Structure 1
């Protein structure tokens, strides 16, 4: 998986592309931790428009930044979800946990 990041004012963005599975765990964790540890950042948006594959391990990985963000009073959003991502997230009821647009 490839991840590109940007920060604008108090909002950070992670653009993810490729396969979102357990092989992406290390780079995904390092990237979101760096962004959430930035005291200027108040929200983190995960752009899933270029995610080609999403499995159950990815769902578990999405819960990790959510827990960290909640503990820091920060917001996590999922945006531009590919149809595949939308389908997997809906089946897992993640629309009840995340702001998905």
Structure 2
């Protein structure tokens, strides 16, 4: 997985590309650290370049949510395509996150 974190006026914009699996846990820690340090109200994950996510990847989103919620920060997942979109639907992530096309 490749990622980029950008500061936006209302929080963070995180772009994820490639495959998000267990081996990306350490990389994702940097994203969680950015969420912890952010003073914004929103963190948008752009998933349009994400080709695959496994259960460990889903767990990483839950970790991000656990860090963001006490700060009053909303997590939005946007642009998921094909298989990633399907996995998010199966996991019912729309009940935990704001999920946008």
Q: TM-score, normalised by structure 1?
A: 0.92
The count of residues paired between Structure 1 and Structure 2 equals: 100
Alignment of 1:12-91 (within 5 A): 12-39=12-39, 41-91=40-90
Deviations 1:19-49 (A, max 9, x none): 100111111121232233122x221001111
CA–CA distance in structure 1, aligned partners of residues 44 and 11 of structure 2: 8
CA–CA distance in structure 2, aligned partners of residues 8 and 30 of structure 1: 17
After TM superposition, the runs of 4+ consecutive aligned structure 1 residues lying more than 6 A away are none
CA–CA distance in structure 1, aligned partners of residues 36 and 43 of structure 2: 7
Deviations 1:41-78 (A, max 9, x none): 22100111111111111111110010111111111000
In structure 1, the gaps of 5 or more residues are none
Decide whether the 8 Å contact of 1:36 with 1:44 is kept in 2: no
Decide whether the 8 Å contact of 1:15 with 1:48 is kept in 2: yes
Aligned-pair RMSD on alpha carbons? 1.1
TM-aligned CA distance change 1:55 to 1:43, over 3 Å: same
